[in-house]
Amino acid sequence: MKKEETRVGDLVYVICRNPHTATATLIQEAEVVENPNKKEDKVLSLNDMYYAFAEDDAVFPTIDDAKRVYKQIYDED
């Protein structure tokens, strides 16, 4: 999901990798909010921090979409 497809107030789901534990990856809910430093821009609010959208971010409109991709990437069946 690209930044242009979101609106302020949307809840989205992000596949996040824990920077301290390489094997820990999970799905987290984030909110699309105004960038506090640049009001005309949108950022993700996640874990009480702001994150800019990047082209390669794994951001999904629904938890089911995020779970489907997560399973494709990380499921070891």
Report pLDDT for 74: 82
Report pLDDT for 77: 52
| 8-48 tens-digit pLDDT | 999 999 998 877 777 788 899 999 999 999 989 999 999 88
Provide the 8-state DSSP code for 69: H
Q: What are the Cα distances from residue 28, in Å, to 1, 25, 34, 63?
A: 15, 10, 19, 9
Separation CA 42–CA 50 (nearest Å):
10
Residue 54 has pLDDT above 80, yes or no: yes
